[in-house]
Amino acid sequence: MEIPDKLYFSISEVSKITEVEPHILRYWEREFKQIKPKRNKRGERNYTKKDIGIILKLKSLLYNHLYTIQGAKQKLRERGTKEELKTKDSINFLKRIKKELISLRKTLKK
């Protein structure tokens, strides 16, 4: 299912998109620190696309791949570590490009 293009989603919208009951979403929110919906002034949950992506991944781990809660937690932690490494690699790559562009600019000014 395609996720609509908007910033925030209510728990009922997330439930429809992910086909996971709201009480399960609230439980997963307590169990998995990766799911962090913001709260509005009325205290209602506002989920982002990132939250929905994590919920869909979690649903797949638990229901399709039959991971336990602990196993799913470990898998999501590993995924987070890999994403952090990719981010660091990307930042270092961009820094090298910046240095090269600065050097090229200096060369062209001569």
At 3, the pLDDT band (50, 70, 90 cuts) reads confident
CB 22 within 8 A of CB 11: yes
Per the prediction, the chain carries an average pLDDT of: 89
Residue with tokens 């979690």: 58
What domain range includes position 39?
11-109
The pLDDT confidence band at residue 76, using thresholds 50, 70 and 90, is: confident
What angle separates helix 69-109 from helix 49-59, to the nearest 10 degrees? Answer: 140
Greater pLDDT, 10 or 84: 10
- pLDDT above 80 (res 73): yes
Question: Model-level pTM?
Answer: 0.70
Cα separation, 102 vs 97, whole angstroms: 9
In a domain? residue 3: no
Q: 15: closest CA among 69, 60, 52, 61?
A: 52
User: At 68, is the secondary structure helix, strand, or coil?
Assistant: coil
pLDDT exceeds cutoff 70 at 81? no
Q: How many domains, the chain? A: 1
Residue 41 lies in a domain: yes
What CATH number does the domain containing 97 carry? 1.10.1660.10
